[in-house]
């Protein structure tokens, strides 16, 4: 297994080795983990995007009304308000496409060709949804006032709007990145430890090397709460709240850490049984596992051996 390194402290130092056998099947478990920190980060990112969109629209309304006054024209306030409000709603509905494109190819996680292709496609989709919603709402708003909404010829207008939307797309993508929406940025070891590799916290303790981009984070195995599959990466949920990513298959990590007791509970999850705090049935034979750090992981009914072993731990 290229790039995977488990450092064994020596014979007899490991505990609970060779307990389990697993089968690689089940349903997707990406949504099973409920992380308050990630949800809060996503909410902050969307709030920042919403504020940006409607502040810009508000400034545009005031500017249009001011220009009309300077030109001596009488412009009903509902016209610029309706136009900018429709644009804002369209942008807000389309901003999830920006986030999706960033998730598919975020800077630092994707090659430059893939990054350019994903963002180009994302910007076109963003502009298309924005314009479709905006025009539809404007037609309705103008019709409510007994008027017809007219727009310039499509080819020229589409290009004109796309140029403006491209600027908005870049700013929105930057806000998602700045506010660290889930899946866009990877915490680095230096943020808390200031070095490329973390030494074991105690002599004779088994460690695992997490290769996160160009950095290597060495962590004691006992500090790994769980590991989950995230597309072409695996995400390590550590006890200190960090979630570094490693470009490797979950099966490779499972094989490397099997002798350290990490248990396959789901097609997409490994958990550290030593960090188990609760076992809750969710129906249809499935369970929810509560781990340290408020981490929740799924236990699929397709892994009865794992369930038996976890139940046995709860009675010892």
Q: What is the pLDDT of residues 137-175, one digit of tens each?
A: 999 999 999 999 887 666 667 788 899 999 999 999 999
Give the least confident one: 26-30, 51-55, 178-182, 202-206.
Answer: 26-30
DSSP category for residue 275? G
- 23/76 same-domain check: no
- 170/211 same-domain check: no
pLDDT at 31: 35
- 239/118 same-domain check: no
Residue range(s) defining the domain that contains residue 97? 38-178
- 14/134 same-domain check: no
Residue 123 backbone class (left: φ over 0; alpha: ψ -120 to 50; beta: rest)? alpha
Q: What is the mean pLDDT of the chain?
A: 81
Whole-number Å distance between alpha carbons of 303 and 29: 13
pLDDT tens digits, one per residue of 30-48: 333 334 567 888 899 999 9
- 13/139 same-domain check: no
- 268/306 same-domain check: yes
- The pLDDT of residue 312 is above 70: yes
Give the least confident one: 23-27, 144-148, 171-175, 308-312.
Answer: 23-27
Token pair 């892994």 is found at 303
| End position of a domain, from candidates 178, 201, 216 | 178
Quickly list DSSP for 135-171. HHHHHHHHHHTT-------HHHHHHHHHHHHHHHHHH
pLDDT at 1: 43
- 162/253 same-domain check: no
Whole-number Å distance between alpha carbons of 179 and 174: 8
Q: What is the CATH number of the domain that holds 245?
A: 2.40.50.1020
pLDDT tens digits, one per residue of 64-118: 999 999 999 999 999 999 999 999 999 999 999 999 999 888 887 678 888 899 9
- The pLDDT of residue 268 is above 70: yes
| End position of a domain, from candidates 116, 143, 178 | 178
- 227/245 same-domain check: yes
Whole-number Å distance between alpha carbons of 248 and 237: 15
- 144/208 same-domain check: no
Q: How many domains does the chain have?
A: 2
Whole-number Å distance between alpha carbons of 193 and 223: 15
- 71/23 same-domain check: no
- 63/11 same-domain check: no
Sign of CA dihedral 129, 134, 139, 143: positive
Q: pTM value?
A: 0.53
- The pLDDT of residue 296 is above 90: yes
pLDDT at 2: 47
- 42/128 same-domain check: yes
| End position of a domain, from candidates 132, 149, 178 | 178
At residue 73, φ and ψ (nearest 5 deg) are -95, 150
- CA end-to-end span of the chain: 34
pLDDT at 201: 47
Question: Residue 234 forms beta bridges with which residues?
Answer: 229, 246
């Amino acid at each position: 297994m290229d790039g995977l390194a488990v450092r064994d402290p020596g014979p007899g130092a490991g505990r609970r080795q060779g307990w389990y056998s697993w089968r690689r099947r089940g349903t997707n478990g990406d949504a099973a983990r409920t992380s308050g920190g990630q949800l809060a980060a996503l909410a902050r990112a969307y709030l920042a995007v919403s504020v940006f969109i409607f502040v810009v629209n508000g400034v545009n309304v005031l500017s249009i009304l001011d220009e009309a006054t300077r030109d001596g024209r009488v412009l009903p306030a509902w016209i610029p308000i309706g136009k900018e409000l429709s644009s804002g709603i369209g942008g807000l509905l389309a901003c999830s496409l920006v986030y999706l494109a960033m998730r598919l190819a975020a800077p630092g996680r994707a090659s430059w060709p893939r990054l350019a292709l994903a963002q180009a496609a994302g910007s076109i989709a963003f502009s298309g949804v924005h314009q479709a919603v905006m025009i539809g709402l404007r037609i309705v708003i103008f019709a409510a006032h007994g008027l017809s909404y007219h727009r310039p010829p499509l080819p020229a207008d589409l290009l004109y709007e796309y140029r403006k939307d491209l600027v908005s797309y870049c700013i929105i993508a930057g806000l998602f990145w700045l506010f660290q929406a889930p899946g866009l940025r990877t915490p680095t070891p230096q943020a808390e430890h200031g070095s490329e590799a973390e030494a074991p916290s105690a002599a004779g303790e088994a460690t695992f090397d997490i290769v996160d981009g160009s950095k290597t984070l060495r962590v004691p195995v006992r500090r790994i709460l769980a590991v989950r599959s995230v597309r072409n990466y695996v995400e390590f949920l550590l006890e200190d709240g960090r979630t570094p990513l490693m470009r490797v298959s979950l099966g490779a990590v499972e094989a490397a850490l099997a002798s350290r007791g990490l248990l396959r509970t789901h097609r997409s999850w490994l958990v550290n049984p030593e960090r188990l705090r609760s076992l809750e049935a969710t129906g249809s034979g499935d369970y929810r596992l509560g781990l340290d750090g408020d981490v929740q992981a799924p236990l699929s009914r397709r892994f009865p051996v794992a369930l038996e072993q976890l139940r046995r731990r709860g009675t010892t």
